[in-house]
Amino acid sequence: MAQAERVALITGAAGAIGGATAVHLARKNVVVALADSVATRGVAERVEAAGGRCRQFALNVTRRDEIDAVVAQTLEAWGRIDILVNVAGTVSFGSAADLAAAEWDRVLDINLKGTFQCCQAVMPAMKAQRFGRIVNLGSVLGKNGGNARPWLDPGEQRASGNVAYGVSKAGVHAITAYLARELAPYGTTVNAVAPGPVASAMTTNLSPSLTALIPVGRMGTPEDVAAVIGFLASDEAAFVTGEILDVNGGMWCD
């Protein structure tokens, strides 16, 4: 492996943001391990078309045994894991009043526990090599109490991410801050991106009235988010850690 080449493990690699991130990193001479619960063949083809190298792994992030197996196989294949990008997640819609306990558990199990378990699984390798970049996928919904304005239009609540999703992403933001401090002595940074609405399968039902609230006048693209992830995973971001970086076209500023 060339000295400049690094290794990234991307969960949720089959999705829009995960796939765009894989291609972006591949163009930066990063080898990528594509992990998802669904097939990543199409993303692998895009990575290879971009001149990159990759391997594909089946992964359910709620299963710690599967996470440990993917980490072990990635280390066996390339000897290190320099970058972890936690994109794997799920969305949930509707009001808090109608939210079932099983749905709450499902969303937090994937988005929050899954993210933490993946971080925890790569920590020993990053500590040992005294280098690492962890980038978690948060959300504007973990900050703003939701995009919906039910006092204006109750229908917005039905088509917007609900409290379980927002809580799970706020938890991801907290995990990011805690791990940034814990891993700083080991040359490892931990950051998150907090996207606003991004054109993808998760946002096909987003109300046009909510899209109209984005100051730059459009929804984000997966490539918009991937570029920011790529920066946080780079050497240029070595002094950035514990940051929750908004990528939302100006719809939320803090």
Is 1 among the domain residues? no
User: Is residue 231 included in any domain, yes or no?
Assistant: yes
Catalytic residues: 165
Give the E-state strand segments of 52-166 in sequence order.
54-58, 83-86, 132-137
Assigned domain for 141 exists: yes
**Taken in order 187, 192, 198, 203, is the CA torsion positive or negative?**
positive
Domain holding 75, by residue range, is 6-247
Question: Taking the model in full, what pTM does it have?
Answer: 0.94
The domain spanning residue 204 has which CATH number?
A: 3.40.50.720
In this structure, is residue 190 part of a structural domain? yes
The closest of 139, 189, 132, 191 to 166, measured between CA atoms, is: 139
CA 50 – CA 10 distance, rounded (Å): 17
Does residue 254 lie in a domain region? no
**What is the reported pLDDT for 1?**
37
Q: What is the pLDDT along the chain (254 residues), one digit of tens a residue?
A: 334 589 999 999 999 999 999 999 999 999 999 999 999 999 999 999 999 999 999 999 999 999 999 999 999 999 999 999 999 999 999 899 999 999 999 999 999 999 999 999 999 999 999 999 999 999 999 999 988 888 888 888 877 779 999 999 999 999 999 999 999 999 999 999 999 999 876 666 666 777 788 999 998 999 999 999 999 999 999 999 999 999 999 999 88
CB 127 within 8 A of CB 186: yes
Asked if residue 252 belongs to a domain, the reply is no
What is the Cα–Cα distance from 47 to 53, expressed in whole angstroms? Answer: 7
What is the number of structural domains in the chain?
Answer: 1
- pLDDT of 15 reads 96
Residue 23 burial (CB count, 10 A): 20
Residue 61 lies in a domain: yes
